[in-house]
Structure 1
Amino acid sequence: MKKLCVVVFLCSTAFAVFPQNSRLDPLIVDDPSRIDIVRDAYGVPHIFAKTDPEVAYGLAWAHAEDDFETLQKAFLASKTMLGQHIGRDGAMVDYIIHLLRLRELVNLNYEKDISPAFKAVLQGYCDGFNAYAYTHPKEVLEKKSLPIIPQDVLTYSVLQLALGCGVEDALRKINNGTMPLVGWEPGGSNAFAFNSKITADGNVYLAINTHHPLEGQVAWYEAHLCSQEGWNIVGSLMPGAPVIIAGINENLGWAHTVNHPDRLDVYQLEMNSDNDLQYKVDNTWYTLEERTVKLKVKMPGFNLHAKKKVYWSIYGPTMITERGVFSIRTTGLMDIRGLEQWYRMNKSGNFSSFKKALKMEAHPSYNIVYGDRYDTIFYICNGKLPLRDPSFNWRETLPGNTLLTLWSRTHPLEDLPQVLNPPSGYVYNTNHSPFHATAPADNISEEGYDPTMGYETHDNNRSLRVMELLQQLPKVSYEDFKRIKYDVQLPQKLAFPVNVDTLFMLNENQHPEYAGLITTLKTWDRKGTTDSRGAALFGIFFYHVAARYQADPTYKAMTKQDCIEALAYMKQYLLSNFGTTDVTLGEYQRLERGNRSIPLPGLPDVLAAMYSTPTENGRVKGTVGDCYIALAKFTKDGPEIESVNCFGASNRKGSPHYDDQMELFQQQKTHRMTLRRDEVYREAKAIYHPEVLSKLPLTARLTKGRR
């Protein structure tokens, strides 16, 4: 009788979460007890199951245990329901999804573009998420958002990839910077791969080192996924992803960095002065497609219901402004298979199968640095780039009155800059030029590449520092490799967007009121260690100059007077907030989570980069930079893997894994990871299954079909 009462209770709470008219596909995972979630000493989930869909189910369940709120926000966005939960900023995201027609893109292409195998993985992930939701009803943010279905997962992934193509920046410019969009595009990253031509022990080394926000919608989550269908990989993923985005399997691994080729075009339409919705293309009048979308916005005490127009031209999403009518076009809005391509990369066994996955050409952007156990290293400035008419200036606003600017085809993978097994024995990228991807003698020339691709050709401080370090090392040991990754020193020749060299040329005798600051900066070793006073001064100086540059991008070099004014600001800042000018970086910059605050190394654009924002009492806290780090050495016995997350495996306050990696991260240390099943189970701190739900009477009442 007691058991029956439990079943009745679970059914009643489930229906309190899922609306009575909810419609689901049949559960693809009918017995979650076959799924093992194995937690290691740091709480990282290792998911073991027979099939890939079961692994995806376990991943969704484990991730929900660690960060259900962030996962829900991802799918609230994909359902255009974020505004009713977080307010105006969420409504702006909802509006963008309507404007870009993301759900329409997914619905139109889901059946034909997504393979049966990956549909099963997506459904398994949705089953796991929905199961967690209906067994934890008090944690559900918006009941009407449930259940989620595969199209929700894909819509959110296309949104992220589109934002990574510059959609956010384009919309801001069109609206004169007045649209308060959510900043979800990551700001940088490093990636390195070395092979036997340079490594001291003959093994291949790979570093995954993205510079993401430390918290929020694109903060990394670490997991180990292992099925009996050939899926066995350790790495990182973002909330809402059912696959590893950057990781290491038994044979190979890869890292991503952000790149900036020209992936997006903005067009100004030639409008009819007598008809606000008509525009002319090659002497033919077209009419903008107009729709009215409904937005629900959470306000104090009530929900505001608003209506807004969205428009579409033959070029794409369109916005009507006081300055004119503009459309945007990007390959980021033309493919829904990005997650499936990552899935194929996850399961690749060698370079040939990995390259085959890349030939799906479903990712509109991101560099790839690759290494494997077979001594292969590879770099590609990946992207889905349009084939354009070279007679137009594609870096400017384009005329939206001719079909000559309406591209439809893209460059094949073979056209993209790439380096395979260079004689130098290494490839790397730090968000700089793809034509500086290895040793100078082995680099590819930018000549011969389509100029409309718009590749960046600059170096940055991190790329210059890599070359400084490698020039000192004829052979690289694994410890050398780690020292390069964790380096916190700026190069001798600085490469910031604003030339700040004048600061280091000032004569302290000519400026006695700032003599101490000038001396500290001139004698500084340019390292961002927590005990460094020069690093603290430079950090304060950097954010002061960066604010001016962001307000005026034409500001390119500091004058002597600019430097004196900056020194006055730095002195006043330190005295006002600390009562002294003798402050270390660790006193100024902190790694903070909950009630914990510890000194944080790193500076903007050093290899172990850290960008910070003000917190209190003049201090700053790290917000973007080094976050999840994974390092691999591919040996004859398989990969040796180590990793660290800036905070921990869980985003739940009160969890022992909410902040248990902070000291490791601060001290530039890691913990060991493994792909070996026997080791995982032997060292496990917890082994359990997702709750068994499919046997409850509820499942019989879930009808077939999709919403």
Structure 2
Amino acid sequence: MLVRLHAALWLALVGAVPAAASPAWGGGEILWDRYGVPHIYSNTEAGGFYGFGWAQAHSHGNILLKMYGESRARGAEYWGPDAEKLDRWLIANDVPERAKLWFRMQTPQMQQNLDAFAAGVNAYAAAHPDAIAPEMRQVLPLSGVDIIGHAHRLMNYNYIASENRVMASAAGAGAGEGEAQLPAQDAGGPVLPPEGSDGSNAWAVMPKRTVAGKTLLLANPHLPWAPSMLTYYEAQITAPGYSVYGGTQVGLPVVRFAFNDNLGFTNTVNTILGFTSYQLTLDGNGYKLDGKVRPFRSVQKQYNVRQSDGSLKTVKFTQRSSVHGPMFDLPDGKGTIALRVAGLDRPGVLQQYLDMGKAQNWQQFEAALKTLQVPTFNIIYADRDGHVLYLDNGILPKHKSGGDYRRWSGLVPGDTSETLWTEVHSYEDLPKVFDPPGGFVQNANDGPWVSTWPRALDPADYPAYVVDQSGMSLRAQMSVKLLAGDDKLSWTDFVGRKVTTTALMAIRIIPPLIDAIGDNPDPELQAAKRLLAGWSGDYEAESRAALLFETWAKLFAGNALTGTDNYATPWSLDDAIESPRGLKDPARAVATLKHAVAQTTKLYGAVDRPFGEVSRLKVADGNLPGHGGLGNLGIFRVMTWSPLKDGQRSPVHGETWVSMVEFGTPMKAVGLMSYGNASQPGSKHSADQLPMVQAKQFRTLWRTRAEVEANLEEKVTF
């Protein structure tokens, strides 16, 4: 039985199963279905959070506690020197102290909700001490401060300003296409894929474009398959005034990709520049600003590092800051920067997501959006009334000195107050598309300008620093092409287009490549020509030309597949979904193909090896022929593959949580969690959905209590 566990009693109760439940959270139950999805029913709002905390601990307890320990900036204290870099970054940026402040700034109801979620985790661990790894149990007990602190770390110091991303901008790399489209790798966090190859997909289609005359919504986030703080979790929560189904990232107490009976929303990583790196000019014990020398502010900080013998070593450091923010020395003596992050005065990210899920119509949903507490992410919305929205959402600094995206994504002069921003843009300022003439909105991590077709937004109407739109990924172009036109989509069409594996790059570039080969007498080139000419361009398990084309494409457009120098016609916004195209140097392209033949044969044993023999869907003991590929090939069914090991490769990032909804009566809702809904060792739900991934099938999402009880695996009450 679930109980509320007070922090003060934790050490006394570890290892003991609590005997009675506290009534503090109002009571409720969790019905687990046969795919390991928790359906939480509670008599109070806080009880819904309590049950959600219990459920997450049950399914993902080890990674849950690991990420909370890291977000406390105590990872090195718990697990040793490997976590020291992240601890120092979070402490230098005041994340632990701000977590306490942010908790105090929550409404009394949200404070209760956060404490309830933490209590649910604590209670599960107390009732099941052997289910949690010993090295993770030391993080317990949790409190509501830990929950808001983790959300703060994830949003502001992973998605917005991870150490790697900040240092890359300071090194002159800017936020580049890949960094802008993907959450930056956190120090000690998960490794993300090559530029633009991952990310997320989202569609919302208006009734006028559907056969049934009903609104359609696709939620399709990606990110890593290996368990981490970016792992998705599927759940249903039903409490007074709050009833949602969807997915969220483990550790968050609210559902980020959600739908209810009347509306739904999803997110994709966008290009909002929510931080600025300022280059300081130092002078003695200060820095120059507007021709004067200002003194640093210096504070002593510290953290502990667990040694190999179990003892703790205290590391002390002096953290300097300027009027811009905390200061950091660049590697190799290349100077000193100050970091300014937007949104540190806005503690309501979890409240906004909760209110979005509670909304029952467009007016209520927009009211939640206008609070502008979520610091980044495109938001795509659909509702039963037929409305759809694309919003380039985020907390965006307002730069009075102007300039474009590239200027503000690199090092910015910090010696003048002209560059020091003090305000952010309002909701009304942000690019958005509502109920467009084309009847749909979409996003695949690109900027806002082609969020619908025909285009509805003009970059000239917005500051140049809003977004980097120097190009458009082929995946985003494929997303538009799958929806554009006047035809009406049936439910079958909607689901079928979601799983297409066609590489737009192949469709666009193979014809001129075949023409360039012509009657070249080289037998290898003629064999490659026949192979490519007979291929549909689909990345299916049986495809025999897919590996060759992938190899050639990386030589042609770079390993990240973002290079455009070898195309005859570059990308332009006026020709957004048909460019780049053509071969600038046909002879060179043919020579590259010759090299690709040799490289493909060496890597895979044959130039025409079936794609699924090499690319395998692997989770736990599952190992099935794979399909899908790199988004920058123009593939909507994204899968980023690992390096070869023993002749095979497996998913690193790509298809994770998918849900598709039709707002009819009754509602249609299907979905899938590719790697399963649990990561705890021994769970039978760690790979049970993999065969459906391989077969391009989806589960009916059981939403009514009768459906859940007909597919019940376990019931827990609290």
Aligned position for 1:400? 414
- Label 1:103 to 1:529 Cα distance change in 2 as closer, same or farther (>3 A): same
- Label 1:443 to 1:175 Cα distance change in 2 as closer, same or farther (>3 A): closer
1:208 to partner: Cα distance: 0.2
1:501 to partner: Cα distance: 9.3
Cα offsets for 1:270-307 (capped at 9, x unmatched): 110xx2x4111123322333344434445656567344
Amino acid at match of 2:298: E
- Label 1:646 to 1:79 Cα distance change in 2 as closer, same or farther (>3 A): same
Pairing 1:154-553 to 2, within 5 Å after superposition: 154-162=148-156, 163-167=158-162, 168-174=164-170, 181-183=188-190, 187-215=198-226, 216-227=228-239, 229-272=240-283, 275=284, 277-297=285-305, 305=313, 306-321=315-330, 322-392=333-403, 393-440=407-454, 443-456=456-469, 458-471=471-484, 474-491=487-504, 506-507=516-517, 509-542=520-553, 548=559
In the alignment, does 2:645 pair up with 1:616? yes
> 1:332 & 1:591 partners in 2: Cα distance?
39
> 1:494 & 1:95 partners in 2: Cα distance?
48
1:596 to 622, 626, 629: 622
1:121 to 103, 108, 113: 113
Q: Which deviates more, 519-528 or 590-599?
A: 519-528
Aligned position for 2:713? 685
Aligned position for 2:177? none
The TM-score, its normalising length taken from structure 1, stands at 0.86
Cα offsets for 1:117-155 (capped at 9, x unmatched): 211110110110111222333424245432211111111
> 1:453 & 1:661 partners in 2: Cα distance?
40
Q: Which deviates more, 366-375 or 532-541?
A: 532-541
Amino acid at match of 2:125: A
Aligned position for 1:151? 145
> 1:247 & 1:452 partners in 2: Cα distance?
30
Cα offsets for 1:591-636 (capped at 9, x unmatched): 1112321111101111111111124123221111111100101013
Aligned position for 2:573? none
Q: Do 2:630 and 2:638's aligned partners in 1 also have CA atoms closer than 8 Å?
A: yes
Cα offsets for 1:194-246 (capped at 9, x unmatched): 1211111101110001121123220111000111x111111111111111011
- Label 1:687 to 1:426 Cα distance change in 2 as closer, same or farther (>3 A): same
> 1:175 & 1:663 partners in 2: Cα distance?
44
Aligned position for 1:700? none
1:349 to partner: Cα distance: 1.1
In the alignment, does 2:93 pair up with 1:93? no
Aligned position for 2:179? none
SS in structure 2 of the partner of residue 141 of structure 1: helix
Q: Which deviates more, 140-149 or 414-423?
A: 140-149
2:698 to 664, 667, 670: 670
Q: Do 1:278 and 1:286's aligned partners in 2 also have CA atoms closer than 8 Å?
A: yes
2:656 to 624, 627, 630: 627
1:433 to partner: Cα distance: 2.7
SS in structure 2 of the partner of residue 394 of structure 1: helix
> 1:528 & 1:689 partners in 2: Cα distance?
46
Cα offsets for 1:373-430 (capped at 9, x unmatched): 1111111111111111235543442111122211111111011111111222211111
1:193 to partner: Cα distance: 0.7
1:582 to partner: Cα distance: 2.6
Aligned position for 1:705? none
Aligned position for 1:653? 681
- Label 1:494 to 1:248 Cα distance change in 2 as closer, same or farther (>3 A): same
Aligned position for 1:58? 51
> 1:172 & 1:492 partners in 2: Cα distance?
29
- Label 1:398 to 1:120 Cα distance change in 2 as closer, same or farther (>3 A): same
1:688 to partner: Cα distance: 1.7
Q: Do 1:292 and 1:307's aligned partners in 2 also have CA atoms closer than 8 Å?
A: yes
> 2:205 & 2:564 partners in 1: Cα distance?
38
> 1:649 & 1:687 partners in 2: Cα distance?
17
> 2:529 & 2:161 partners in 1: Cα distance?
39
Cα offsets for 1:498-527 (capped at 9, x unmatched): x99986665172543444334423443221
Amino acid at match of 1:165: I
Amino acid at match of 1:467: V
Paired residues, number: 661
Aligned position for 1:643? 671
1:562 to partner: Cα distance: 6.8
Unaligned runs of 5+ in 2: 1-7, 174-184, 568-583
SS in structure 1 of the partner of residue 617 of structure 2: strand
Q: Do 2:233 and 2:248's aligned partners in 1 also have CA atoms closer than 8 Å?
A: yes
> 1:93 & 1:358 partners in 2: Cα distance?
31
Q: Do 1:188 and 1:257's aligned partners in 2 also have CA atoms closer than 8 Å?
A: yes
SS in structure 2 of the partner of residue 106 of structure 1: helix
In the alignment, does 2:596 pair up with 1:582? no
- Label 1:488 to 1:453 Cα distance change in 2 as closer, same or farther (>3 A): same
Cα offsets for 1:84-143 (capped at 9, x unmatched): 44544422221221122112222234323x111211110110110111222333424245
Aligned position for 2:38? 45
Amino acid at match of 2:700: R
1:183 to partner: Cα distance: 3.8
SS in structure 1 of the partner of residue 353 of structure 2: helix
- Label 1:516 to 1:245 Cα distance change in 2 as closer, same or farther (>3 A): same
> 1:516 & 1:166 partners in 2: Cα distance?
49
Unaligned runs of 5+ in 1: 1-10, 19-26, 691-707
1:556 to partner: Cα distance: 6.7
% of aligned pairs identical? 25
> 1:124 & 1:661 partners in 2: Cα distance?
31
Q: Do 1:197 and 1:424's aligned partners in 2 also have CA atoms closer than 8 Å?
A: no
> 1:118 & 1:363 partners in 2: Cα distance?
16
Q: Do 2:604 and 2:614's aligned partners in 1 also have CA atoms closer than 8 Å?
A: no
Amino acid at match of 1:631: M
